[in-house]
Structures are given as C-alpha cells and as structure tokens.
Chain A
Amino acid sequence: MTSIPILLIRHVTKRFGERVLLSIEEFIVTEGSCTLITGDNGSGKTTLLKIAAGLVNPDQGKAVIGGVEIPWTKARPRIRRDVVYLHQDPYMLDTSVERNVAYGLRFTKESREKIYEKVADALRWARLDHLAHRNARWLSGGEKQRVALTRARILNPTVLALDEPTANMDQQSRISTYQLIDELRNEGMAIIVASHDQTGLAPIADRHMQLIGGKLVKVESVVRRGKIPIVTRFPR
C-alpha cells in the first residue's frame, strides 16, 4: 500500500441546531487503502461519509488538494468527482439492472455503444449479467448491493464510500460483498467503509477508526489479519 493522501479534510464540523453531529480535526484517505469506520448509531458515520463524498456540506471544514488547503466550497466539486457514495440500502432506479449500471456513464462523453460495452463487461465482472434486463427494484438486498458496487466501479472513482454495505445480509451475500470490496481495493480504489460489521470487514481494512458522539476517538492501523473465507463467489 502506498501512503499518498488522496482525500484529506480538516477541521470538519457539522451541527444540527445546537447538537454537534460531527467534529473532526483531520481525516485522511490514502491511495488504495481501506478505512473502516465503526461507531454506534448516531455517532456520525453516515454524516462523515456524506461529507467526504461531497453530498453534505459541513458547517466548517477545509480540504487539502494537491498539497494546498482550500475552502470546502471550492473543494466540493473536485471531491464529488473523485468520491462515489453508496447508501446502506442502495437506491435502485426504477429501470433495468443494465440501465442502472449505465446511469453514471451517461454523463460522460462515451458513445452509447461504448457505454453498453463497458456495462456488459462490468456485469460479467460482478456475475450479474444474467440479471441485466431485470428491473433492479425487484432484486434481493445482496444483489442490489452488488449492482450498486458495479454502478460505482464502472465510473472508476478514486474513493468509494460505503455505508453499512453488509447490513441486513445473509452470510453468503456478506462474503460476496467482502470479496467485491477487496477486489475494488486491489484495483487501486481507496475504500471508506462505515459499518457495525467489524469482524467481517477487519480482514480487508488497513485502518480502523472509531467515532463516538461525532468525535474520532480512536485511530489505529491494523495489520490485515487474514483472508476472506473462500466460498462460491456471487451465487446466481
């Protein structure tokens, strides 16, 4: 793993009325790393991920881009370009799996043929090709998560922010998701995962951070403890 910081935000504060939701001095994501963020419900995990993805504006905060500290408003468009956020229960557009995966590519300058070529490749990668024409709304939770990961991966973001990616999943789907996350990280994507599933994600994570009451109280580097259990990948 290299230690080039690709996302660095500082002095981030987010309030809701008088209540401080998040108060963080520094948050760094390095190239190809996997950062696990744990914490109780309401500790600020989702808020931190949404801020890191540029979806929510902090009340205060700065970002460091190219070694220069710049105000949040200026950094936000760049952050939004680099970071893709995935909800705990990913939203599936009311259309086919294929069109869901193609959604982000429609905003690029790629031709329609090229887009659908990439989509077909991506669906094969995630072993979702047999579901390509199925309405994504009717998929299971695990399949939706895989569609969401594929929809994000196809855009080749620098950072992927995953909010509780294995919540409400059975063991088989969880393991499939761990493997997908690990593959994405191996492809060079930096991953931030907010999760209660410390045991399952620890083997993939390089760093573990804990949020308590919106404050980052524990930061530790972890040695990758092992391999993900081998199972039949992406059951059809």
Chain B
Amino acid sequence: MESLTDASLQALSLLVSGDAALWKIISISFGVSLQAILFTTPVALLTAYALAHFQFPGRRTLISLFHTLLAVPAVVVGLTLYLLLSRSGPFGDLKLLFTQTAMVLGQIILSFPILVAMGHSALQSADHRVWETAHTLGATPLRAMFTVMHEVRYGLFAAVIAAFGRIIAEVGCSLMVGGNILNYTRNITTAIALETSKGQFAQGIALGMVLLLLALVLNYSLSTIRHRLAMQA
C-alpha cells in the first residue's frame, strides 16, 4: 500500500496535470449538483415564503415535516428513489435509473427540505414592515415577495450554500441511483468510495482535496454572509 505522502503527491500531480478522467468526475459532480440546486431553489423558496407569509391549515405540520426531513439519510432517499425508478417500480418505464437525471432527482429531494427550512427561518425573520412598505408603495403581492426576499437575501444565500454543500458531498443517493458509471454518473464522492475500495488512494485523495477546497470556499462564503447578517442586525 502506498504511503499517505506518496498518495498525496500523486493526487496533487493528477490535479495539476489536468488528468482528464479526474476532471470529468469533478465536472459530473458539479454539473449534477448545480442542476439540482437550480431546479430546487425557486420552488423551495416559494414554498418557504408561503409557509412564512400565509396562514393555512396544516402549516405548522408542514414546517415540522420539513425540519424532520433535514435528518433523513441520503441512502434512505437513494433507496426510495431506487425502488420507484427500478424496472419493477411505478416509474420504471421512464428508464431513469443509473442516469444523471436520477442523481439530479435524488439531490433535489435532499436539498428541498434544507432550502425550505432555512429559507423559512430567514423569511420569517424579515421585518413585518418590509411587506407593508412594499405594498403601500404600490408593489403587487409578487413584487412585494421579491422585495422581502431581497431584504433577507443573505439568509437565503446561506440556505442555498448549505443545500449545495450537502448534495455535492452526499454519496449514498448518487451511488444507488447513479450506479457509479465511469464518465457518466461517477461523481466525486462515488469515485472516492470506489478508488478507496480498490486500494488506489491517489485519485481518491485528489478528489477529496477538491471537496475540501469546496468546503473551505462554502464555509468562507457562509461566514461572510453571517458577518453581513450581523452587520444588518
């Protein structure tokens, strides 16, 4: 077994040399997660706004449900989606299992409750005068909603960053519904799992470095946002 130092040096060399296989895996990972977050964000934020702004029967239950869903393991989402998309499942005819679309669907399911729960908290913290000010100055309910969202934008950005961090780092769901197919559904996390099981650590470490770098960037962004929020308060 290669030493950790050797493996790390090889990993750096792979990253710097622009190894095609490695960068393909990275691009698949980012492509799938970005698609998922782009599809989820508008719907989730609208849901969060509805939960924060309107009173309707079952509202509290829904909020509790979204908070509960935050704790659902990715592998459980993967299993459920696998059963739904497998040939014998209700959506088997769509032939989506082991495709990037299935991975996107899985990540949508994972990111939705995070965006709703965190978005709801941010929107609920909005000053009630924002909505009244927007309305009295002639904004339609839709424009007033965008104004409220703009006023709590740092909280909403934090929700998007947290959701993106969660889905790009998840392995269970992508492995089960993506199938870890080279150059198609193999992403950073599933590749790390595979390379580690084969005892080839260099690529795994290189991919791990990318994830660590991403975590660093996301955390830095979150701390900047928190600082802005503190300034705003």
**Which residue numbers of A lie inside 8 Å of B, CB to CB?**
50, 53, 55, 80-81, 83-87, 89-91, 93-94, 103-104, 107-108, 137, 151-152, 155
Contact = CB atoms under 8 A, between A and B. Distances in A.
Contact of B138 (A91, A93, A104): A104
A84 B132 contact: no
B140 interface: yes
A94 B112 CA distance: 28
How many chain B residues sit at the interface, stated as a range, is 10 to 19
Contact of A91 (B129, B140, B143): B129
Contacts of B132: 50, 55, 85, 87, 91
Contact of B136 (A53, A89, A93): A53
Contacts, number: 50
B135 interface: yes
Interface of B: 127, 129-130, 132-140, 143, 147, 150-151, 232
11 contacts: A84-B136, A84-B137, A85-B132, A86-B136, A91-B130, A93-B147, A94-B150, A94-B151, A104-B139, A107-B140, A107-B143
Nearest to B129: A91
Contacts of A137: 232
Nearest to A87: B129
Contacts of A80: 135-136
A91 B144 CA distance: 14
B232 A94 contact: yes
Contact of B137 (A89, A94, A104): A104
Contacts of A85: 132, 136
